[in-house]
Amino acid sequence: MSTARERLKEALAILEVTAKKSLGQNFLVSDVVIQRIIDQVKDFKPEALIEVGPGPGALTYFLKQMNVPLQLIELDHVIAAYWRDQGLPVIEQDALQMDWSQFYSDKKLVFVSNLPYQISSSIVIERSLEDVGPEHMVLMFQKEVAQRIRGIARDDHYGLLSVIAQTFWKISMVTEAGARDFQPAPKVQSRVLAFSRIPTEVKNRKAFLTFVKCAFAQRRKLLKKNLTGVLNQKKITEEQLIGWLAELGFPETARAEELSPVQFVKLYQKFGFES
């Protein structure tokens, strides 16, 4: 079988294109990394697949061999036409601007992508806000973003993205990817994460996101200060908040970065956003 580098060279010759910095294109050429991603996708036993940014097809080459419906989303017009010519359905649109509900059915959907780095955080947040959506995701991130997604309380990487991702997904690492695993080589290291949807007590996901955003608004400020606006909105006193923090085992000087995702959900529920 041909190597990833050979397949890329062949595809680029047909396409007559080069990687576009404006679209965050760095083409994956590591056979080892590709195989680890594909193995993880297979482990999820997908009944339908969606890939954002297939590019010349490092992952698409194998995804289309799984014999399940495969939907591509590709912003580059030339690359989109290339895949249509091969009989694959392609939506030529920004993945952050489209209605994803059109892809959701009773089939187990797996979302896989070597994500353009500039949209990676936003797309995780968006998929986390959906009550119904992909059952699993296998996504490539800049290493620092992956560290934020899996960050733990009191860790330097821990923040809004950590809380939202971990509240709605079980997350594990699939593989690392270095600069040499791409063409052209990016200036950053990469990491692939696997996501599996988990049950949650949060009913109003957008309200929860707003709550966590307020909590982390100014990282070094006390949590009670960052939540002043929420306290006023819900007519809750600072003394009540201090009492709720005490129930969770925290002093009134607690900061947002000290609460785990589970503790964030418990505190959020006290405010009555879902009553």
Is 151 annotated to bind a ligand? Reply is no
Is 238 annotated to bind a ligand? Reply is no
pLDDT of residue 23: 45
pLDDT of residue 17: 59
Is 204 annotated to bind a ligand? Reply is no
Q: Which CATH architecture has domain 4-197?
A: 3-Layer(aba) Sandwich (3.40)
Cα-Cα-Cα-Cα torsion 256, 206, 129, 103, nearest 10 degrees, comes to: -170
pLDDT of residue 19: 47
Contact by Cβ (8 Å): 226, 174? no
Domain 205-270 CATH (choose: 3.50.50.60, 1.20.58.60, 1.10.8.100, 1.10.150.20): 1.10.8.100
Is 53 annotated to bind a ligand? Reply is yes
pLDDT of residue 228: 96
pLDDT of residue 174: 98
Is 57 annotated to bind a ligand? Reply is no
> Does the predicted TM-score (pTM) go above 0.85?
yes
Per-residue model confidence as pLDDT tens for the chain (275 residues): 589 888 888 888 888 655 444 444 678 999 999 999 999 999 999 999 999 999 899 999 999 999 999 999 998 898 999 999 999 999 999 999 999 999 999 999 999 999 777 889 999 999 999 999 999 999 999 999 999 999 999 999 999 999 999 999 999 999 999 999 998 888 889 999 999 999 999 999 999 999 999 999 998 899 999 999 999 999 999 999 999 999 999 999 999 999 999 999 999 999 988 86
Domain boundaries, the chain: 4-197, 205-270
pLDDT of residue 219: 86
pLDDT of residue 27: 85
Is 67 annotated to bind a ligand? Reply is no
**4-197 and 205-270 agree in CATH topology:** no
In angstroms, the CA 17 to CA 235 distance is 58
